[in-house]
């Protein structure tokens, strides 16, 4: 079990604070976990680009596919790279900007009440064993600290923004992940 500090930071995560967050309407209302994927450029892993995107340091001239990211202010609470290394960009006490236009269980604006975890990956590329191990450990810690995040309230970005988002994609093994949760 990982320590979550009262400040909302996970003790074992590499901390890289993002400016892309604001206050939650009700910090006690954390009740949803959203799983995403990201790779920059798309389908390429490693390198500094995801970190740069979440900290507003991305040079949009570095790759032709980055032009659409110009001026985009996004973040996630956590990012798990292909080696299973955990990075935190936003305190859980704050609202990260990961879900966009979204709805779950009749409620809009999922950023208000969710924690967003980005896995370095793509919809059609298998995730690594190290990522699943870290994601399971992180999820169990979050569920212990935020008991309203039940297994039924763990979803993909695709579930809260259908038609707009497809991540974490068909390559994500939901059955394995959810069965592994204590």
Distance (Å, whole) CA 107 – CA 163: 17
The band of 56, judged by pLDDT with boundaries at 50, 70 and 90, is very high
DSSP assignment of 67-94 equals GGGTT-----SEEE-TT--EEE-S-TTE
Which backbone phi and psi does 74 adopt, to 5 degrees?
-135, 165
Record the tokens describing residue 126, joined without a space.
């298998």
Give residue 73's pLDDT.
97
Distance (Å, whole) CA 91 – CA 169: 26
**Average pLDDT for 8-32:** 96
Pick from 100, 51, 58, 53: which is nearest to 79 by CA? 51
Torsion of CA 182, 175, 147, 152, to 10 degrees: -140
Give residue 113's pLDDT.
98
Chain position carrying tokens 């069965």:
179
Give residue 4's pLDDT.
98
Q: Is the pTM of this model over 0.95?
A: yes
Q: Which residues are the active-site residues? A: 118
Alpha helices in the chain (DSSP H): 49-54, 129-145, 157-160, 174-180
pLDDT at 69 exceeding the cut of 80: yes
DSSP state of 58: -
Give residue 80's pLDDT.
98
pLDDT at 182 exceeding the cut of 80: no
Give residue 1's pLDDT.
85
Give residue 27's pLDDT.
86
Domains of the chain: 24-180 (3.40.80.10)
**Average pLDDT for 127-151:** 98
């Amino acid at each position: 079990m990982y320590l979550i500090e009262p400040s909302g930071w996970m003790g074992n995560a590499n901390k890289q604070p993002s400016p892309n967050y604001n206050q939650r309407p009700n910090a006690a209302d954390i009740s949803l976990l959203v799983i995403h994927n990201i790779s920059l450029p798309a389908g390429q892993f490693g390198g500094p680009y995801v970190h740069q995107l979440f900290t507003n340091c991305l040079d949009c001239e570095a790759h032709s596919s980055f032009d659409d990211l110009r001026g985009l202010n996004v973040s996630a609470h956590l990012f798990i790279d292909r080696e299973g290394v955990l990075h935190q960009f936003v305190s859980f006490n704050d609202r990260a900007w990961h879900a966009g236009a979204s709805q779950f269980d009749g409620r809009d604006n999922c950023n208000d009440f969710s924690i967003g975890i980005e896995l370095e990956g793509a919809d059609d590329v298998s995730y690594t064993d190290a990522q699943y191990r870290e994601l399971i450990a992180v999820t169990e810690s979050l569920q212990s600290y935020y008991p309203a995040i039940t297994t039924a309230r763990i979803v993909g970005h695709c579930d809260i923004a259908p038609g707009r988002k497809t991540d974490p994609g068909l390559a994500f093994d939901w059955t394995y992940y959810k069965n592994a949760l204590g």
